Each structure stands twice: as structure tokens, then as C-alpha cells.
Amino acid sequence: MEKKQGFFSALRGLSPSRSRTRSRSVSPARSSSPMTGGRKNFTGGAAAANYYVTQPELLIERSGSLRPVMEGPDLDEEEEGGGGSVGDSKRLRSGLGNWVKGQLSRAPSVAATAAHRRNDLRLLLGVMGAPLAPIHFSSDPLPHLSIKNTPIETSSAQYILQQYTAASGGQKLQSSIKNAYAMGKLKMITSEIQTATRTVRNRNPSKAETGGFVLWQMNPDMWYVELSVGGNKVRAGCNGKLVWRHTPWLGSHTAKGPVRPLRRGLQGLDPRTTAAMFAEAKCIGEKNVNGEDCFILKLSTDPETLKARSEGPAEIIRHVLSGYFSQKTGLLVHIEDSHLTRIQSNGGDTVFWETTYNSSLDDYRQVEGVMIAHSGHSVVTLFRFGEVAMSHTRTKMEESWTIEEVAFNVPGLSLDCFIPPADLKTGSVADSCEYGQEERGKAAHRAKVAALEN
């Protein structure tokens, strides 16, 4: 990780703009990365960066029209229209329902196996690929610690964050970082699915989907991530004004609500953003996590942001982020992220979707003076419940990752590297959708079943 020379010698262009040419993006990192393949050699360094800056058309990809981003199981419209969730296919024609049904009645044919694997992968990438943090954060420095006229929960949280900032490398060093790059490998698997009548567990690690990711960040509020898993690529980014995502099966989408950072950056890769994210949090107690005593900081999304992120029949009830900071090292060692969405159907029935992320961060090492977590493991639970107990489902997914390379203040990285897809349209989200009224409702319903936003 500390081998910067290897990073710069392998980096072909020092810019994520390379990865978006002709919609066949590849990792800007070394060729041995699982993200790379079929890439022509090109001279790196500033010349490569200037080459793409002077030819901006190479930065633009062509994709489908924008629709609201759904950080969940985004399955095809054909699959969605033809099935539904277990025991309720007419009332809830969700792609996830088809996926659940398929898990419990898998056919032995090769075609069916391929289709199920494709749906499994889409579910994994949809839920765990590029989730967002709960709120927009201020890039201002942390407030000075004060106990006068300050609730003990707030002053305690401020003290814990100052200890975290110091343990991560210090505010002065972190403030000198203008941009950052990280590359890693990961494995994803759907480990369990449970209905009212049956539970299916996947205990075969060979069925895990493997791949990698690259993450670019630039102050303020700009980021771009690309994941390549199982032959599929998911891309997401933010230019400081809007957040978008692109999947091969749905094209490009925008995220409702305020600009928010990528959750993956909070997983031990971006201490400065992490501290800023928890600046408004409260200390709610202590807990032992994996044998380590931790302080718990809890951050709840404000009602205005929840309302801005809701759409149509779906209402986001809550989104809570909890950080567990080691009392011994001061570092962030665990994150719990939970959000609840309520969907009111036309028939009057109410369905709830609760998505819970639990991420453990390990193997902290210094990179240019900044403490970075080089590995971790996430367990995600997607729980559907409502008025009919027999229609309840619970899906458990897992991801393990390792960080291969990290670098700060990368030469050649510019604003052009965070350009959204070319088909970005102005106006409301509804105006950006090339759907009729019925199709809009169907697409919106699928988004809500996927818990809409993370």
C-alpha cells in the first residue's frame, strides 16, 4: 500500500476519465487488478491527463435517460412485470419478489441457473455497490470543543471526534489533501434468504462474486466510484451539485435530495469526511465490538432531508448512521447504517422495507501519514414486512474487501474527471423519465421496493 512508486508506474492517465471512455470503463490502476482487461497501453503522467482534458468528448459516455437512483435490487422491467414477491405477486410486482421466488424454486437447467445468477448479482450490486451516506455534510473544520451550554451527549461526541481526527493523522495533514485515490478487491455473496415458510442458506464460498473497485475523491464534495463484479460494471459519481449512478441494466439515474458522500468512503478510507459526517452526532453510550470497547456516535437524518429523498408512494421514515470509535486507538472500527421506507400502494396496503448495513473495519495502516483501514467486512439485511405476515421476507448479503492501493494529491486529477453522463437533463426527475404515466408508476414502485435511497 505504501509503495507509491508502484502506483504511479501502473496508473495510466491518473484520471478516472479514462475509465469512462466509450462506456467500457476499466480501472486506472495496475493491469493485475480485477477491474482491468482489454486496455490499450498508454503513456501515463501529466501527458495522459492533458490528452483527455483537451479531448473532453472522450470523457462522456452514452447511456439511457435519467431516472431516480435506486440503491437496491434493480431488476429488469420484464422480470418485474411477470412476477412478484412470495405469496403476493399481483399486489407487489417487484423485481426483488421475483428474485426471492426464484431462490426458493430454482430449476436445474443451465439457462435458469444463469438467469438466477444474473439476478443475484444485480441484487448484490444494487444494494451494496454504491450506497450513500445519510446526509450532506459541511466541509468546515470541526467546532472547538466547548462544554458551556452544550448537552453532554454533544460535547462528548465532539471530544471523541477530535480524538479520532488526531489518531487518523491530524487535522493539518488532512486539510492538505486535495484529492485521493483508492483501489481494492472485493467479494460479494447472498448468504441467506428467509420467508415465512422456508429459509435457504448459501454456505458455499465458491459461489461468491469477485471483483474490484476504484474510488476517486476531490474537495469539495466530488467523488467517482467504479465497481466491476462478475462481468458487470456499476459506476456512480458526484460533481458537487448532483449524485448519479449508472448500471448496465437501467442506464443512468439521479439521486433525489441533497448531495451526499459515498458510504464506501466512510469505511476507513476518508477520515476527514467521516469526522465531518459525525459532526452533528450525539454520543449515546458504549459497547464492546469484537472484543474492543467503543464509544457510539449516532447520527439521525433530519425530517427535511428525508422528505426531499422521498418520492411518490414511498416515504423514507428514518435513516440512522452509528459509528463505533475504539476507546483504545480512537479509530472508527464499526459502522451501522439503517434506513426504513414505507410504501403505500393504490389498494391501501402498506409495505415497509428496512435495509441495515453492519460494516467492520480492520487492518489500519499509515499511508502518507494518514491511517487507512485496509480491509473490512459488511453484512447487509434487506427486510420486507407489512400487514400480511406470510409475505415477509428477509435477505442477507455479505461483502468482504481489501485495499490494494491508496494515494493522495494525485497529479492530473481535475474537475473534468467528475463530469456526469452526457445524457443528463435539466428539470424535474419526472421530466427526465421517458415513460408513460403507467410505466412511471411501475418504475417508481420498483425503486421504492428497493428502499429507494440509502
Instruction: Please give, one letter per residue, the 3-state secondary structure of 237-280.
Output: EEECCCEEEEECCCEEEECCCCCCCEHHHHCCCCHHHHHHHHHH
Question: What is the rounded distance in angstroms from the CA atom of residue 97 to the CA atom of residue 82?
Answer: 10
Using CA atoms, how far residue 430 sits from 96, 253, 269, 436, 444, in Å, is: 23, 12, 35, 10, 10
Break the chain down into helix, strand, coil percent, rounded to 5: 30, 35, 35
105 within domain boundaries:
no
The C-alpha cell that represents 29 in the structure block: 490502476
pLDDT value of position 11 = 44
- The answer as to whether 318 is a domain residue is yes
Task: Confirm if 409 and 367 have CB atoms less than 8 A apart.
Answer: no
Q: Which domain holds residue 52?
A: 4-37+48-70+130-449
pLDDT of res. 97:
56
Ramachandran region, residue 53 (left: φ > 0; alpha: ψ -120 to 50; beta: rest):
alpha
Residue 177, domain member (yes or no): yes
**Residues 121 and 229: beta-carbon distance below 8 Å:** yes
What pLDDT is attached to residue 344? Answer: 85
pLDDT on residue 76 = 43
**Could you tell me which of 47, 2, 8 has the C-alpha nearest to residue 29?**
8
Does 112 reside within a domain? no
pLDDT of residue 207: 85
Q: Judge whether 117 lies within some domain.
A: no
Count CB atoms within 10 A of the CB of residue 40. 6
**Residue 183: CB atoms within 10 Å:** 24
CB-CB contact of 214 with 186 (8 Å): no
Considering the domain boundaries, does residue 379 fall inside one?
A: yes
Q: How many helices (H) and strands (E) does the chain have?
A: 12, 15
Cβ-contact 416, 53 below 8 angstroms: yes
User: How far is it, in rounded angstroms, from Cα 184 to Cα 90?
Assistant: 42
> How many degrees, rounded to 5, is the angle at CA 230 between CA 227 and CA 236?
20
Q: 304 CB contacts (<8 Å, ≥6 apart)?
A: none
Q: Please tell me the predicted confidence (pLDDT) of residue 238.
A: 96
Question: Would residue 115 count as lying in a domain?
Answer: no
- What lies within 8 Å, CB to CB, of 416 at 6+ separation is 15, 17, 52, 53, 56, 59
Strand, coil or helix: 148: coil
* Residues counted in the chain: 454
Ranges under pLDDT 50 in the chain: 1-15, 17-94, 106-107, 425-453
Count of domains in the chain? 1
Alpha-carbon distances of 184 from 29, 40, 213, 405, rounded to whole Å: 10, 21, 5, 7
Task: Flag whether 307 is in a domain.
Answer: yes
